[in-house]
Amino acid sequence: MTSKLIIIRGNSGSGKTTLSKEIHRRLPHNTLLIPQDTVRREMLNAKDGENTSALPLLEKLLEYGYHHCSYTILEGILNAKWYADLFKKSQQLFGDQIYAYYFDIPFEETMKRHKTRHEHSFGEEKMRSWWNEKDYLGFIPEYAFTSQMNLDDEVEIVMNDIQVED
């Protein structure tokens, strides 16, 4: 079995979670979805940042996905600098079977999207404090999603890229 890794990254409110859940729904059984927020906030109650205590668990989950799943989806803000070692580990595991996507959309659009999807908004000040413009990984090529694309466009791009085998 060749295991494939799908990385979906971007700023808060960009559409990462919506896309990753839709991809997860469309992929066959034995697909692991690793949402950064769930691991970090809900499972560990850990702060994000350099050397977050979530890193070892995220790494173990990636290893599990590589060894036991056809597809692994890693989704989150996943700051390129803070998570560089995790992405290097993912390269060691998955090699050329990494499909990475980055939501490169304006701050105003993330605010608009956030307000339509969340009952309780974080607010503009908090969202702006998290903002990290053009946070590309650099060493793993990432396809850039733009604000002109909708969910259907994004899903089609990912599904075509990974060429799902039945």
DSSP alpha helices (H): ranges in 27-165? 36-37, 55-68, 84-94, 107-117, 124-130, 151-162
Amino acid 13: pLDDT: 84
Amino acid 127: pLDDT: 76
Task: Please tell me the pTM assigned to this model.
Answer: 0.92
What residues make up the domain containing 143? 4-162
Question: Of the candidates 52, 26, 21, 25, which has an alpha carbon nearest to the alpha carbon of residue 39?
Answer: 52
Amino acid 2: pLDDT: 85
Q: What is the side-by-side order of every strand in the sheet holding 98-103?
A: 31-35, 71-76, 4-10, 98-103, 142-145
Amino acid 84: pLDDT: 96
The rounded distance, in Å, linking the Cα atoms of 69 and 160 is 19
Instruction: Count structural domains, the chain.
Output: 1
Interior CA angle at 160 toward 165 and 97, to 5°?
65
Amino acid 121: pLDDT: 64
Place of tokens 């989806």: 73
Q: What is the tens place of the pLDDT at every residue in 56-90?
A: 999 999 999 999 999 999 999 999 999 999 999 99
Q: What is the CATH number of the domain that holds 100?
A: 3.40.50.300
Q: How many CB atoms lie within 10 A of CB 113?
A: 18
Amino acid 118: pLDDT: 60
Amino acid 109: pLDDT: 79
Amino acid 134: pLDDT: 95
Are 100 and 141 within 8 A, CB to CB? yes
Amino acid 117: pLDDT: 66
Where the chain has pLDDT below 50, the residues are 166
* Neighbour-count burial of 134, counting CB atoms closer than 10 A to its CB (0-12 exposed, 13-18 middle, 19+ buried): exposed
Handedness of CA 158, 160, 163, 166 (dihedral sign): positive
